[in-house]
Amino acid sequence: MRSYISEFESKEKPKDYYTKIIEELKRKNAELNAFNIINDEINSGFPFSVKDNICVNGVESTASSKILKTYTPPFDATVVEKFKHNGFSFLGKTNMDEFGFGSFGINCEKPAKNPINSDYVAGGSSSGAAIATALLKYHIAVAESTGGSISAPAAFCGVVGFTPTYGALSRYGLIDYANSLDKIGFMARSAADIRTVLKQCTGRDGKDTTSSSQPLTDNPKAKLTVITELMDKTDEKIKSAFLRFLDKIKSLDYKIEYVSLPEIEHSIPAYYIVSTAEASTNLARYTGFKYGFKVEDFSKKYNDFFTEARNQFGMEAKRRIVLGTFVRSASVKDKYYVKALKIRRLLINRIKRLLKDSLLISPTMPIQTPKIDEVKKLSPTQSYAMDAFTIPPNFCGFPHASFTYDYLAGMPIGAQIVTDQFNDYAALSFIDSWENIFDYKFKYNIGAL
């Protein structure tokens, strides 16, 4: 187990250490758009970044949306508060798809670019968090996932991305996308570092009624289950690489089993019905009065006033508001929204049954890292289909993690491990064992001592 936190703490830093990190980070950020804000005043402690939809006291927090420009919260999110309490130092706010709406990190003012090759996407919506982790040797990112927002960029940028059980970490201070789906998690260069901060950040929080006091376990399983319907959606090159990876995994004494789970085909449409319904409700609060962007002309007619405010939303946000408002309308609510909730319950029961005696494993993404220009040509439906592997555990609240297992055409490819609810440490232990036999070489090591 390699711990960059322990390594950092054991080494003496030169006097100008943090100044040099900031200078080099700003140069790379001008090219890659990893950060929305970089903290010039950091001068001690292990650096941590915060996704821009998580509040930091006195720091602009916009969820990478024009409608929240200038919003500066007067408080820290609970997870940020815990990081500061444990001696970590705030490095900056990372870029993201607007409000978390996207899989590639391009639905924002400054599209995020892959640190390995800037022609390629970084993944989304926690794009900046993944780029920062790939750039900096000593760093951990506080990120957030709704339908794959941690796993996707972790896979494309070659880092470890961990999404906990829903409720394991407090969501207080998170700018919500979908309340029943959002989960704050982490990205790092090793599973050991994620284990360290997870222990410090879990637990019941009186400020968040969805948080849980149930302790997390590390209950290992000797079997890995592969769902055949998901493999059928995989690019042939990814599938071949993944099968080679499974052969290597057998050397760690895991048994591989293939199972059919036809119900998983319904996870994408059900997820987008539930998530857009909740998103349209959450985004209704942005009216040009209270947060961020303010409409200055109060003589405007009612419709003109709110049109000016809500026109600050990007195209993807508008699309999800319209879709979400439709599916929760009285005339079709039972046909779509209620049915989607039933599908979620069915999937939870089916997946829990598999996780009783195994871990689920799959590629993280069905394709190789695409170029930015290629992604811009995708239809919304094609983009949503890219979340086929990441949506099921997110939709159902299961802990999962993405990690690098190989390279294709010089770019990293990731696998995703899923465990039962509150058995979060089992996912990190699995990655620990893999890291012992797979040595990932990072292209950048800003801050190396």
* CATH label of the domain that carries residue 405: 3.90.1300.10
Range scoring the smallest mean pLDDT among 317-326, 388-397, 420-429, 437-446: 437-446
Determine the 3-state secondary structure of 220 from DSSP. coil
Active site residue ranges: 51, 125, 149
- Return the HEC string of 319-360: HHHHHHHHHCCCCCCHHHHHHHHHHHHHHHHHHHHHHCCCEE
Can you spell out the DSSP letters for 386-427?
TTTTTHHHHHHT--EEEEEEEEETTEEEEEEEE--TT-HHHH
Contact predicate 156/119, CB 8 Å: no
Residue 395 within a domain = yes
pLDDT digits (tens, 9 = 90+) for 355-388: 999 999 999 999 999 999 999 999 999 999 999 9
Residue 242 within a domain = no
Residue 169 within a domain = yes
Residue 203 within a domain = yes
- 157 has pLDDT over 90: yes
How many Cα atoms within 13 Å fall on the side-chain side of residue 286? Answer: 29
Range scoring the smallest mean pLDDT among 85-99, 301-315, 349-363: 301-315
Residue 372 within a domain = yes
pLDDT digits (tens, 9 = 90+) for 14-34: 999 999 999 999 999 999 999
Residue 83 within a domain = yes
Residue 334 within a domain = no
* Residue whose structure tokens are 């006291």: 57
How many Cα atoms within 13 Å fall on the side-chain side of residue 119? Answer: 4
Assign 3-state DSSP to the chain and report helix, strand, coil percentages, each to 5.
Answer: 40, 15, 40
Determine the 3-state secondary structure of 47 from DSSP. strand
Residue 338 within a domain = no
Average pLDDT over residues 145-154: 98
So what's the pLDDT on residue 292? 87
Strand partners, 82: none
How many Cα atoms within 13 Å fall on the side-chain side of residue 18? Answer: 14
Average pLDDT over residues 57-83: 97
- Number of domains within the chain: 1
What value does the CA radius of gyration of the chain take, rounded to a whole number of Å? 21
Contact predicate 47/106, CB 8 Å: no
Q: What is the pTM of this model?
A: 0.97
Range of the domain at 150: 4-219+361-435
Burial classification of residue 300, based on how many CB atoms lie within 10 Å of its CB (0-12 exposed, 13-18 middle, 19 or more buried): middle
So what's the pLDDT on residue 290? 82
Q: Rounded CA gap, 28 and 22, in Å?
A: 10
pLDDT digits (tens, 9 = 90+) for 382-428: 999 999 999 999 999 999 999 999 999 999 999 999 999 999 999 99
Contact predicate 222/426, CB 8 Å: no
